[in-house]
Amino acid sequence: MSFITGVGLTPYGKHEGSSSLDLMSRAAQAALDDAGLKRSDIDGILCGYSTVSPHIMLATVFAEHFGIRPSYAHAVQVGGATGLAMTMLAHHLVDAGVARNVLVVAGENRLTGQSRDASIQALAQVGHPDYEVPLGPTIPAYYGLVANRYMHEYGVTEEDLAEFAVLMRAHACTHPGAQFHEPITVADVMASKPVAMPLKLLDCCPVSDGGAAFVISREHTGELGVRIRGCAQAHTHQHVTAAPGLSELGAEISIARAREATGLAISDVRYAAIYDSFTITLAMLLEDLGLAGRGEAAARVRAGHFSRDGAMPLNTHGGLLSYGHCGVGGAMAHLVEAHLQMTGRAAHRQVRDASIALLHGDGGVLSSHVSMFLERVR
């Protein structure tokens, strides 16, 4: 058994002058404070990567900097799925008795630490070095290809996709730490600059600075505990050229495994924290996971289903699309928000009942998937 005993999150956006280590440290301190633990209580550290400050041993660089001598430490790299993959590993480490309290941390000055071109170029390298990268694709282009096919198969329109950007922005407007606070409309998304069609600027998450951290422990420290009920992964390919067809999606495989591991059904879920690097990513994952029927997720957005007061509140902090995306920390903000919701600490964003949450992360081009169920316990 394992519990998420503390969470820490910085605002996302510009942190001029902060390094990746600075942002990791701020988030880690906040998570320790939240858990009511000291540095000496932490015996495991898992960290992500920083494209601005690459290092072959980032976990020990951080441990030394932050002042911890753990008995278990290393970095993890699964692209956008890294945060949940680290949480899954921490869960198993704690469950197996390898560590008592594992600090999971990531942070990156991805916005101010390098040019936007450098960032886009670094990320495009997830493409095949011989067969894809010479063609000049970008991450939005990889997802643009996926979007084009998915829209064709299920009759999804660009206006449908725009609904997800509008929803995430509406949620971000209620969170002081979000990168964007100006409301947008479907017309704004449609009129935004083309990036890689059918994806336009407002269909894409921004590049941000920020940090996020959690503590995963054997026992819960507060009155309310957030227990990791169970989780699973699926990895079907790396490159979009080698991706399986839409009938064999990794998210469907990982959620089936997670449901089997926990005995939970989608109908048990009360809060959803789903990876949203692009509007198409969110639309597809909602449908892959069974949170909406094929081609029906946008209609559910319009009906208020995924809003704070709807039947399935989704990414109430604004997601990657509008809270921001600082790399590994990006999707960790989804878990921080889920934790706040589950423990009744989300202030004016609080939903009615977040007793069971479903989290899902995606790395690469829908390549790597992690599905996780969290449960509130007393």
Partner 1 sequence: MSSSERIADWTKGEEAITYQTCAACGHVQYFHRAFCAACGASDSREARASGKGRVYATSLVCRAATPETRAHVPYNILLVDCAEGFRVMAHGENGLAIGDEVDASFTAFAGKLVPFFTRRK
Site residues (CB under 8 A) for partner 1? 117, 120-121, 124, 128, 130-132, 134-138, 140-141, 144-149, 152, 193-199, 239-242
Which C-beta is closer to partner 1: that of 38 or that of 116? 116
Which C-beta is closer to partner 1: that of 30 or that of 249? 249
The CA distance from 128 to 16, in Å, is 33
Amino acid letter, 119: S
The token duo for 82 is 């890294």
The CA distance from 369 to 361, in Å, is 6
Query: Within a 10 A sphere around the Cβ of 345, how many other Cβ atoms?
Result: 13
Which C-beta is closer to partner 1: that of 45 or that of 195? 195
Which C-beta is closer to partner 1: that of 242 or that of 266? 242
Judge whether 221 and 36 are in contact, CB under 8 Å.
yes
Which C-beta is closer to partner 1: that of 98 or that of 124? 124
Rounded to the nearest whole angstrom, what is the least distance from the CB of residue 204 to partner 1 in the complex? 9
The CA distance from 234 to 252, in Å, is 9
The token duo for 193 is 């600059």
Rounded to the nearest whole angstrom, what is the least distance from the CB of residue 234 to partner 1 in the complex? 18
Instruction: Note the helical H segments in 9-138.
Output: 20-35, 58-66, 82-95, 116-124
Rounded to the nearest whole angstrom, what is the least distance from the CB of residue 119 to partner 1 in the complex? 9
Query: Within a 10 A sphere around the Cβ of 273, how many other Cβ atoms?
Result: 29
Rounded to the nearest whole angstrom, what is the least distance from the CB of residue 366 to partner 1 in the complex? 13
Rounded to the nearest whole angstrom, what is the least distance from the CB of residue 151 to partner 1 in the complex? 9
Judge whether 203 and 162 are in contact, CB under 8 Å.
yes
Rounded to the nearest whole angstrom, what is the least distance from the CB of residue 277 to partner 1 in the complex? 15
Which C-beta is closer to partner 1: that of 93 or that of 141? 141
